[in-house]
Structure formats: C-alpha cells, structure tokens
Amino acid sequence: MEYIVIFAALAFLIGSISFAIPSKSSRNLSKLRLESNKLGFKISSSSVGTNSFKNKNLNHMIYKIKNETNLKEAHFIRDKDELILYSPLKLKYSDSYDEIQKKVKNLPLSIDELVFSSSSISFIWKENMGLDELKKINNLLKVF
C-alpha cells in the first residue's frame, strides 16, 4: 500500500514539473516574439480589445508596426492564394490601385489579413514561418 502512495506522489510531482517546463515550440515562439519586438513590432492578441479584423480566431496574434507609407486606409483579406481588397472600395477605383495590387501580390502567403490605418499597419500571419519571414514582410511593407 505504501508503494502505491509513493508512486502516486512521485507521478504527481513529475507531472507537475513537466507541465511547468515550456515546450520547444513555445520557447521558439517566445524567441520570435522577442525578436519581432526588437524590430519595432507590437504584438497583441486578437481576443483583447477591439480590432478591425474579420478573422475572429482567438488563437491568432496581431502584429502592428508604425505606418510610414502613403496608404492610410485599406483592408485586405486572404482569399485562397490572393489578398483581396475588403475596404474601402473607393481605393479600387483610384489611379494608384494597380500599383498597390502589385505590391500586395509580393507579400508572402503567410499573411492572412492586412489592415492599413493612419497610424499603423496591422496583420495576422502564420507565426510558425519564423523570423526570416517576418523580416521579409517588414521589408515589403515599407515599400508601399
């Protein structure tokens, strides 16, 4: 009987310790978010506060960077392999739309949704693609 109690106590102790140790994927994700913060990105959860994204998956994180482009209002949503303009529709009929569309097509498939506001550029992307992908996105967003 004593052995059963000792075994149960050890199993509980080992289980508690292994639950507290972060996994390899969570350590990699933490490192990515730390490095992205150093690049100037602000990271927030899509479940906190109000956001203008149509994707309501609470597991996604929103990455924001300061908007230093001429594009001050636009919302693009991924539809299959292409980011399409969701709003404002008046942008679609502007003279610069073709140029903007070419730049949007250069963005990687890892971006699910992209929102330009007057102060920031926000996007949802697949974080498992890594830091190199984020640096690529950062460089491409600066040319808008």
Residue 122 pLDDT more than 70?
yes
Over range 113-140, report the average pLDDT: 91
Return the exposure string of 67-104: e unless at least 16 CB atoms fall within 10 Å of the residue's CB, then b.
beeebeebbbbbeeeebebbeeeebeeeeeeeebbeeb
pLDDT in tens, 17-52: 877 888 888 899 999 999 999 999 999 876 665 567
What are the boundaries of each domain within the chain?
Answer: 25-141
Residue 12 pLDDT more than 90?
no
The pTM (predicted TM-score) of the whole model is 0.79
Q: Rg of the chain's alpha carbons, rounded to an integer?
A: 21
